Structure 1
């Protein structure tokens, strides 16, 4: 039987159907913090430290994971399959870094100032698409921009059906604007460069007094860039009944094996590709390329094709 507390934490039939009859009495904990040598999880609004097997590697777990635990010993039994997984591919010999699990919506935060960058937003969108989460562009500092809607119009062109919201992260109105994605039992994660207001937004979304506030930092006025203030991923209860996972500021995001994510992001190119003369057309120099023909006719933005080539090449490297 699913308890109300489980539903509030995001438990649903996807996880319920994974349980064997012999596991009915085990505790269901949702991982709220991953440390180098330990895990903690939530159940019934209480936090428990999980006893791990010898030599267990916590890098294999992500904030937002559901795990089964022995109620008497608090020993880990197993981790349940994930609905979605945000993971950051490692560069060189570095391993893949798990960012967050079972996230319904990814808030991609950018600011309405000189730090606004379409290519960077496309990277985050591909990241979200590959993970299976619903991306939403959240544009902060709209209150100090000369024309915040111009930034919103640019962002909206990046992907079909993309929701774009402009807010002042410090205002109570920000919570109202984002409420459609923050209802009871929902889980959102927040990504974006340093200084765009991610931690301020988290502070505004979490239930008053239920969590320690996120540290915020100043922005250098010379280049609109900020300093890193969030250093660890963590799960926070939101005032609306959902959950938010904050993440450290990320200036660069390496793309690797994101075929499906790029196909969704660049749907206009994906749909033209089958009309190219050659099946493995790179849309660069081949004759009979339907994609380059669309650029020549003015129906496809040449900058989009340039950015597609860059991400496509990086993803396949």
Structure 2
């Protein structure tokens, strides 16, 4: 296969100059591979000539890799040599421990999936949006089970109000035309990832998007009627082809999502509050009881909802409390930002 053909085949997988520029001249004999699935003891990857299982160096752990990562591997030994820098990475901090759990990498668009029933939760959606903003991926809210709702417009209006210029799509995940609603984010070489709680229809939507490109269909489950909670049917993250050239990553349902070390993501979500803040009398205004607070003035005038300010305050507080810190020289506190 010629170099141009190899490049074209890689570009179908999402390869770009961002990754190509990282390959050193001394690594010309190595081949780029994209991680398709990560298991406890193995990694499966796809390249220009097909898929294979990669061997890990002795010091490496599968926990250091995410579905969607680009790596360089030895074509003879199938040994993974190194991971290339990520363009975007979606990660979360679990309830226990200080580390971050990798969810998916090099995602162009993050589809935040919720359903038009009791699962629709503003607080949870805001947390997903913060994570998407921090990851560097474009967020899109997908409202599933639209065919079961009496008034889909109510759900759409609430979702659209969460963040400026936020795309919101309502659909029936089982319908054949669901793919057309999402086609603008599923072009050649583009990667989308689906996140959301169990039972909202993520796996159903993946199956609809990948027909007939994939024979490995995702399992789907039922939900409880009284609270719309579902069972975990996706137990591992995996990369699936979409007819037309795109790729989709399904993820297990996440019931609890904490915010930590994601100040930029909060600022993007609450850009209206961030833009008002410089007009406050005090630079360190908490937007609570200080005189001359531009944010409180916006609440009083009705241009900013009081409950939105309260959610901002709660998330900022949680982010501050959950962001790990270490003691620096002379007792100063320095935020520890772990690199992946």
Q: Judge same fold: TM > 0.5, yes or no.
A: yes
Q: CA deviation at 1:236?
A: 0.6
How far apart, in 1, do the equivalents of 2:244 and 2:221 lie? Answer: 26
Which one of the candidate residues 1, 5, 18 is aligned to 2:9? 5
Shift of 1:282: 1.5
Q: Does 1:48 align with 2:52?
A: yes
Structure 1 counterpart SS, 2:177: helix
CA drift at 1:280: 1.7
CA distance in 2 between partners of 1:278 and 1:165 (Å) = 40
Query: Which residue of 2 is the match for residue 171 of structure 1?
Result: 175
Shift of 1:209: 5.3
Partner of 2:235: 231
| Cα distance in structure 2, aligned partners of 1:193 and 1:46 | 32
Residue 292 of structure 1 pairs with residue 296 of structure 2: yes
SS of 2:290's equivalent?
Answer: coil
| Contact preservation (8 Å) 2:213, 2:241 | no
2:156 pairs with one of 152, 156, 171? 152
**1:75 positional shift:** 1.2
Unaligned stretches of 5+ in structure 1? Answer: none
Rounded Cα–Cα distance in structure 2 between residues aligned with 1:29 and 1:211: 22
Question: What is the aligned-residue RMSD (CA, Å)?
Answer: 1.2
Determine the C-alpha separation between the residues in 2 that align with 1:32 and 1:219: 28
2:35 to 22, 31, 36: 31
Query: 2:284 corresponds to which residue?
Result: 280
1:1-317 alignment, distance < 5 Å:
1=3, 3-44=7-48, 46-208=50-212, 210-317=214-321
- Structure 2: runs of 5 or more not aligned: 322-340
Task: Determine if contact 1:175/1:205 at 8 Å carries over to the other structure.
Answer: yes
State the alpha-carbon separation in 1 of the partners of residues 148 and 256 from structure 2. Answer: 26
How many angstroms apart in 2 are the aligned matches of 1:85 and 1:209? 26
Contact 1:42–1:48 (8 Å) recurs in 2:
yes
Count of residues paired in the alignment: 317
Displacement over 3 Å in runs of 4+: none
8 Å CA contact retained: 1:179, 1:240: no
1:277 CA displacement? 1.7
Give the Cα–Cα distance (whole angstroms) in 2 for the partners of residues 291 and 83 of structure 1.
34
Q: Structure 1 residues 225 and 92 mapped into 2: Cα distance closer, same or farther (>3 Å)?
A: closer
Cα drift, residue 240 of structure 1: 2.4
Query: Scaled by the length of structure 2, what TM-score is found?
Result: 0.91
Deviations 1:2-29 (A, max 9, x none): 5211000000111111111121221110
Separation in 1, partners of 2:307, 2:257: 20
CA contact (8 A) 2:234 2:253 kept: yes
